[in-house]
Amino acid sequence: MRYTTTAFLLFSTISQASCIPVSSTDIQQFPAGTPFDIVLSTSSTSMSALRAAEPKTIDIDLFDNASQIKELAKTKTVICYFSAGTREDWRDDADQFRSADYGKAMEDWEGENWLDVTSQNVKDIMKGRIEYAAEMGCHAVDPDNVDGYDVRFYPSLLPTYTHTTTNTSLQSHQDGFSHPKSAYAAYVNYLASVAHANKLAIGLKNSLDIIPDVLSNIEFAVNEQCHEYGECARYAPLTKANKAVFNIEYGLRDCSQPRGVKLSTVLKSADQGLDKLGGQC
C-alpha cells in the first residue's frame, strides 16, 4: 500500500552493515503474541513519544523515517517497511527500475505499479534496500505487496461479454505478469536469504496462500484486516511455529482470537493513515 510522505535518497550502492546482535543467532525473533505498533508515517509523532510508547516492537517506513531509525533502535525493536512488489514513482530510486520491470498500475494507489518479481534487476534493487535497512539499524524488514499472483475481476471488461459472471477472460493476475504463486514464494525466500545474510528478521505481508512455502524462512507475519476478510484462522501454522502474527484492523474493532491462532492485533483508523500510536487489543 502507499503512504505519501517525504522520500529520501536511497543510494544505488550501499555497503553491507549488520545490526546490533539481538539474539544468539544475531537475528531478532518474534514469538507468537509479541505486542507491536505500526506507525509508518511518524511526521506527526515526536521521537520522545515514539521512544516512550509501548509496546517495544514498532513497524515504521524505512525510507520516510531514515533519520530516526538509529535513535529509535536504541530502545525499540524496529521493523522497517518497504514495498517489495511495487514500483512507487515518488521514491528516489524509482529510476533504477527498467520499463520492463513493472506492469499494471496498482488499484487505488496512484503512481504505483506491480513489479516483475522474477526480474534480476528488481531483485538487485531490493537487495540494496535490505542492505540499507541493516545499515540504518533496523532489526527486521516488512516487505509489502508480495501477492501479485492474486486474481482480480475487472468490471471494465464487462461490455465485451454476455455471460460475465462466469467468463474467466474477465479475470487477471493483479501484477500484469501472470506469475504463479510459486514465483512469489521464491521471491520471498530470496528476500529472506538477503535479510538473514544481513542479520535481519523478515516477515510475510498478507499473501496467505504462500505461507507453507515460506514459513521456515520468515520470523513473523503482518496481516491487514484478517478479521474483516475472515482469514485469521489461516495463520495457525505461524502460531504453531511460535511466530508472531501482527494484525491491523482498519475501522473494525475486533480483538477476538481464532482457535489455534495467537494474534497481535492493533485497531487503526478506517482511512489507513497509520500515523498515530496505539490501538493495541
Report the distance separating Cα 74 and Cα 53, nearest Å.
13
Per-residue pLDDT of the chain (281 residues; tens, 9 = 90+): 533 333 333 333 333 333 333 344 689 999 999 999 999 877 778 788 888 889 999 999 999 888 889 999 999 999 999 999 999 999 989 999 999 999 999 888 889 999 999 999 999 999 999 999 999 999 999 999 999 998 864 444 444 433 333 444 445 678 889 899 999 999 999 999 999 999 999 999 999 999 999 999 999 999 999 999 999 999 999 999 999 999 999 999 999 999 999 999 999 999 998 989 999 99
CB-based contacts of 165, cutoff 8 Å, min separation 6? none
pLDDT for residue 197: 98
Report the distance separating Cα 241 and Cα 238, nearest Å.
5
DSSP for 264-277 reads: EEEEE-TT----S-
Report the distance separating Cα 48 and Cα 147, nearest Å.
36
Domain ranges in the chain are: 36-151+169-280
Q: pTM of this prediction? A: 0.85
Query: Quick one: which H or E segment has residue 67?
Result: helix 66-72
Mode of pairing for the β-strands spanning 171-173 and 102-105: unpaired
Nearest alpha-carbon partner for 129 in 62, 214, 38, 196: 62
pLDDT for residue 38: 95
Which CATH number is correct for 36-151+169-280, 3.30.1280.10, 3.20.20.70, 3.30.1130.10, 1.20.272.10? 3.20.20.70
For 147, list phi and psi in degrees, rounded to 5: -125, 35
Q: Which three cell numbers stand for residue 226?
A: 484478517
Cβ-based burial of 244 (10 A; exposed 0-12, middle 13-18, buried ≥19): buried
- Tell me the sheet residues that pair with 224: 248
Q: Which three cell numbers stand for residue 249?
A: 484492523
Looking from the CA of 124 toward its CB, the CA atoms found within 13 Å total 11
Q: Is the peptide bond before 31 cis (omega within 30 degrees of 0)?
A: no
pLDDT for residue 1: 54
Range 126-129 contact pairs with CB under 8 angstroms and sequence separation of 24 or more: 126/84, 126/191, 126/194, 127/194, 128/10, 128/11, 128/12, 128/13, 128/14, 128/93, 129/10, 129/62, 129/82, 129/84, 129/93
Question: How many residues does the structure list for the chain?
Answer: 281
